[in-house]
């Protein structure tokens, strides 16, 4: 092949109590990455669309190109590539925008050059690309986008990814208010230390949420989506957060919380029809506070990136 086009999905991270350790992939939105071979050894970003001119064209600074370069370095390969990035989601949306671009890059170069690398081997280069954007080496967006499904990051040193079972009837409604919250800024407002009581509560809810997935216990899932670490601080950055959450719960959401650093919010439900109803309720509630709102309804994306 001389070129390849790849889709990499958005993802919901943290998922309530799972700060930096939980996430799942969704079917839409996502990013498209196009790679084309060059006759020289340069990596060049030829075009970026959908970013409102916010993303760097410098390959040393861009999430996708940094991730691609990391794969080539690991394999000891010098080759030239043109990279085109087609952003299909908001930057700073809390939906893993930079993670999707990084994952799309590593998946595309692996397929284009027929490197035969496993997803486990692509994870660290993708995380390196994510670091270029967020300045944090976390995997709760990268891993779901790469592996698909629902993941748990058991450890970062060494990295240990666990795929969790996903109930087939689980759906997600996403509200994106159309404002930007940079991950690095959202991390900066968090406290540097927490009380023992808070840590114990967070651990308990994380464990019970995993149990709920394993047992398909939706009532337990509802009780477990509680974030004592980030939500009390990050919810202040989201206009109308409490009203939007209450609107989702009023029409039957299992629970509703912030995805990633925000400003997007997610609500889980047990059917596509209920997810559609919740999405409409969240959109209506948010319209009082922000005007560029978008919504998405999706099952859990179990495949991750794909060639298109």
Annotated active-site residue in 63, 64, 128, 183: 183
**CA-to-CA distance for 120 and 106, rounded, in angstroms?**
12
User: For the chain, where are the alpha helices, taking DSSP H only?
Assistant: 63-75, 97-112, 119-134, 142-147, 183-188, 196-215, 218-224, 231-234, 241-250, 272-286
**CA-to-CA distance for 171 and 149, rounded, in angstroms?**
12
**CA-to-CA distance for 19 and 207, rounded, in angstroms?**
12
**CA-to-CA distance for 210 and 208, rounded, in angstroms?**
5
Annotated active-site residue in 32, 111, 130, 231: 130
61-to-120, 122, 131, 135, 283 alpha-carbon distances in Å: 24, 19, 10, 11, 35
Told to judge if 79 belongs to the known catalytic residues of this protein, a careful annotator would answer no
**CA-to-CA distance for 202 and 197, rounded, in angstroms?**
9
Told to judge if 78 belongs to the known catalytic residues of this protein, a careful annotator would answer no
Q: Token pair for residue 161?
A: 């990814």
How wide is the angle at C-alpha 279 spanned by C-alphas 273 and 280, nearest 5°?
Answer: 95
DSSP state of 153: E
User: How many CB atoms sit inside 10 A of residue 79's CB?
Assistant: 15
**Which residues are the active-site residues?**
130, 183
């Amino acid at each position: 092949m001389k070129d390849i086009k790849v889709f990499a999905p958005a993802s919901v991270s943290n998922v309530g109590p799972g700060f930096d350790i939980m996430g799942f992939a969704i079917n839409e939105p996502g990013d498209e990455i196009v790679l084309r071979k060059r006759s020289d050894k340069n990596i060049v970003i030829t075009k970026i669309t959908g970013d409102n001119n916010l993303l760097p064209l410098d390959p040393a600074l861009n999430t996708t190109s940094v991730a691609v370069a990391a794969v080539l370095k690991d394999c000891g390969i010098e080759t030239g590539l043109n990279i085109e990035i087609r952003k299909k989601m908001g930057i700073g949306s809390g939906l893993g925008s930079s993670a999707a671009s990084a994952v799309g890059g590593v998946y595309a170069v692996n397929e284009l050059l027929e490197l035969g690398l496993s997803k486990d081997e692509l994870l660290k280069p993708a995380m390196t690309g994510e670091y270029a954007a967020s300045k944090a080496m976390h995997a709760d967006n990268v891993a779901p986008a790469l592996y698909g499904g629902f993941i748990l990051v058991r450890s970062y040193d060494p990295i240990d990814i666990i795929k969790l079972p996903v109930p087939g009837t689980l759906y997600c409604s996403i509200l994106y208010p159309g404002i930007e919250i940079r991950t690095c800024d959202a991390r900066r407002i968090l406290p540097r230390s927490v009380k023992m009581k808070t840590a114990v509560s967070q651990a308990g809810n994380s464990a019970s949420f995993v149990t709920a997935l394993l047992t398909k216990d939706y009532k337990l899932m509802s009780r477990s989506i509680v974030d004592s670490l980030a939500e009390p601080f990050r919810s202040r950055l989201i206009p109308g957060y409490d009203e939007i959450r209450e609107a989702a719960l009023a029409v039957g959401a299992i629970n509703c919380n912030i995805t990633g650093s925000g400003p997007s919010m997610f609500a889980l439900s047990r059917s596509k029809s209920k997810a559609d109803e919740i999405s409409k309720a969240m959109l209506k509630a948010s319209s009082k506070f922000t005007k560029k709102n978008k919504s998405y309804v999706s099952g859990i994306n179990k495949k991750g990136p794909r060639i298109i």
